[in-house]
Amino acid sequence: MSTNTVVIYGVVQPDGSPQLEGKVPMPAGKVQVTVQAVPEPPEGDQFFDMLKGIWAARAEAGLIPRSVEEVEAQRRQLRDETDQEIMEAGRLQEECRQLREEAESSAGGRE
């Protein structure tokens, strides 16, 4: 039996129902859920106050974090583009090798 564990955050609504921050990255099927309170950062903590300011400014500017799907799609696109660039570099390297060999063989035949 596989023991995949995923930690996903959420909020318990006033009626007691949970609201998760995103989709659960697991296949459909039965799961066991354990709910644990997440401690709030201490008030007046400079680091967390700075983060709260950043989050508020991003929200006010309408900046929404990319979803897991968006990040994965961009990662795949970047990987595909990189693979194409590597193949093109290999093709150019092979073409240069062939041209160098042709030049060496034609120069050797003139002597």
Average pLDDT taken over every residue of the chain: 89
Q: Distance between CA 78 and CA 98 in Å, rounded?
A: 30
Tokens of 57: 């400014």
pLDDT in tens, 21-67: 888 888 888 988 888 888 887 788 899 899 989 999 999 999 988 88
Q: Is the pLDDT of residue 92 over 90?
A: yes
Phi, psi of 11 (to 5 degrees): -135, 140
pLDDT of residue 3: 66
Dihedral sign, CA of 32, 34, 19, 41?
negative
- Closest to 33 measured CA to CA, from 53, 50, 10: 10
Query: CA-to-CA distance for 35 and 53, rounded, in angstroms?
Result: 28
pTM over 0.75: no
Q: What's 40's DSSP letter?
A: P
pLDDT over threshold 50, residue 6: yes
pLDDT of the residue at 110: 62
